[in-house]
């Protein structure tokens, strides 16, 4: 099976299934000499773990990370880092009734067509459980980015039709985490919560939009042709379960503007640095950072697993009614925040290390 690795220089390979013994990641290309411990990684995993609020799955996983290799005396050796997270609340038997059923909008049918078999226990590798490994790796990437002075933050902008006023922040992690839905606008967060509670009682689910902002990227990160920074960010974010859309800067809204209004004029700021007067480009021009904040939005579909009866077919093509009985999020967005941040950090860390090879 291909497609389990990501990155060029800072490269990760994830492994494990939703209801298997462990989820894990091997990181290759982490520079030597980085101070690193489990305590640097665990806070990000705590933000992603299930069972953290009434708006997430009731599955109880501590998601405690262990570093198995690549560390000596608290510093990275430059050798591969292996990180593992045990699955301690796996219940594969919950999925026995669905073993031969194709759940609507899941990967059951497509995986069967591709491989001729599938792991029916929570979707196996197709499950969002796999993203715990990405978050662990992303925490390491974020620590490296800290050496460059780069900070990043994502937040929930909209759930269903309930949205906060458009705002690019920045917001601190404390501001984002103040409400369990990770929306930093208090009134909007309460409206979202009321909407989700209604859907949860009805057995339904919701999607929405996440905004992300990155500050501190110097000009020059990214490649000009196939590996444009926004293209790599798009691939990274769209690889997250349930993500259906990605846009940088002005995105689709920018198509309503004329070129004279959309162009970002260059200016010299009070510190003598070249910047742009506006940031419709979202901090990236020609696929390369221009020193302005990186701005993007990501759209997530409603959770596919719902309690409401749904029509489908089994592997024999016979009509069936699917009623989910497992433990599932009514909305993925609050737990997707650390995943979006992790994938962003992985891309930026990789391009930061690539830039070291770009010029003398």
Is 234 a residue whose pLDDT tops 90?
yes
Cβ–Cβ < 8 Å for 291, 219: yes
Measured N-to-C along each axis, helices 131-147 and 333-355 cross at an angle, to the nearest 10 degrees, of: 50
> How confident is the model at residue 314, as a pLDDT?
87
Distance, in Å, from the CA atom of 123 to the CA atom of 131, rounded to the nearest integer, reads 13
Matching residue, tokens 């770009």: 358
List pLDDT tens digits, range 279-319: 999 999 999 999 999 999 999 999 998 888 889 888 888 89
> How confident is the model at residue 119, as a pLDDT?
74
> How confident is the model at residue 112, as a pLDDT?
84
344 closest CA partner among 275, 248, 251 = 248
Distance, in Å, from the CA atom of 346 to the CA atom of 32, rounded to the nearest integer, reads 17
Question: Lowest-pLDDT range, 20-24, 75-79, 321-325?
Answer: 321-325
> How confident is the model at residue 96, as a pLDDT?
67
List pLDDT tens digits, range 29-65: 999 999 999 999 999 999 998 766 677 666 667 899 9
Distance, in Å, from the CA atom of 358 to the CA atom of 218, rounded to the nearest integer, reads 14
List pLDDT tens digits, range 128-169: 899 999 999 999 999 999 999 999 999 999 999 999 999 999
List pLDDT tens digits, range 244-278: 999 999 999 999 999 999 999 999 999 899 999 99
Confidence of residue 94 (pLDDT cuts 50, 70, 90): low
Classify the C-alpha dihedral 294-213-247-28 as positive or negative. positive
List pLDDT tens digits, range 178-228: 999 999 999 999 999 999 999 988 999 999 999 999 999 999 999 999 999
Quote the pTM value: 0.94
Confidence of residue 125 (pLDDT cuts 50, 70, 90): confident
- Read off the pLDDT of each residue in 92-102 and give the average, rounded to a whole number: 74
> How confident is the model at residue 107, as a pLDDT?
87
Confidence of residue 122 (pLDDT cuts 50, 70, 90): low
176 closest CA partner among 282, 70, 44, 278 = 44
Is 10 a residue whose pLDDT tops 90?
yes
> How confident is the model at residue 126, as a pLDDT?
85
281 or 18, which is more confident: 281
Confidence of residue 359 (pLDDT cuts 50, 70, 90): confident
Distance, in Å, from the CA atom of 296 to the CA atom of 209, rounded to the nearest integer, reads 10
> How confident is the model at residue 292, as a pLDDT?
98
155 closest CA partner among 189, 198, 193, 197 = 189
Q: Which domains does the chain have, with CATH numbers?
A: 5-355 (3.60.150.10)
231 or 90, which is more confident: 231
> How confident is the model at residue 329, as a pLDDT?
76
> How confident is the model at residue 198, as a pLDDT?
93
Determine the Cα angle at 158 with ends 187 and 253, to 5°.
Answer: 120
* Mean pLDDT over the full length of the chain: 92
> How confident is the model at residue 92, as a pLDDT?
62
């Amino acid at each position: 099976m291909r497609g389990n690795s990501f990155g060029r220089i800072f490269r990760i390979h994830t492994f494990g299934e939703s209801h298997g013994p462990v989820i894990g990641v091997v990181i290759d290309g982490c520079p030597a000499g980085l101070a690193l411990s489990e305590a640097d990684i665990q806070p990000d995993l705590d933000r992603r773990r299930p069972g953290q609020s009434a708006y997430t799955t009731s599955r109880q996983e501590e998601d405690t990370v262990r570093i198995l290799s690549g560390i000596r005396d608290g510093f990275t050796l430059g050798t591969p880092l292996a990180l593992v997270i045990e699955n301690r609340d796996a219940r594969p038997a919950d999925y026995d009734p669905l073993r031969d059923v194709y759940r609507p909008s899941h990967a059951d049918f497509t995986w069967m067509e591709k491989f001729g078999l599938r792991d029916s226990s929570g979707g196996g590798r197709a499950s969002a459980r796999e993203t715990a490994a990405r978050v662990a790796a992303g925490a390491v990437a974020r620590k490296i980015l800290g050496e460059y002075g780069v900070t990043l933050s994502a937040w929930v902008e909209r759930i269903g039709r309930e949205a906060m006023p458009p705002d690019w922040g920045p917001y601190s992690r404390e501001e984002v985490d103040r409400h369990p839905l990770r929306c930093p606008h208090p009134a909007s967060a309460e409206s979202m919560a009321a909407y989700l509670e209604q859907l949860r009682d009805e057995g339904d689910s919701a999607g929405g939009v996440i905004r992300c902002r990155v500050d501190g990227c110097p000009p020059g990160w990214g490649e000009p042709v196939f590996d444009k920074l926004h293209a790599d960010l798009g691939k990274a974010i769209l690889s997250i379960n349930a993500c259906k859309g990605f846009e940088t800067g002005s995105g689709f809204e920018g198509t309503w503007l004329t070129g004279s209004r959309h162009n970002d004029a260059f200016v010299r700021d009070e510190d003598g640095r070249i910047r742009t007067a506006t940031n419709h480009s979202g901090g990236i021009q020609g696929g390369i950072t221009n020193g302005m904040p990186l701005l993007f939005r990501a759209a997530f579909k409603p959770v596919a697993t719902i309690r409401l009866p749904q029509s489908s077919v089994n592997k024999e093509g016979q009509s069936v009614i699917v009623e989910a009985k497992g433990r599932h999020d009514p909305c993925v967005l609050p737990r997707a925040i650390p995943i979006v941040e992790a994938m962003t950090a992985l891309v930026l860390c990789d391009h930061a290390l690539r830039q070291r090879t770009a010029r003398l």
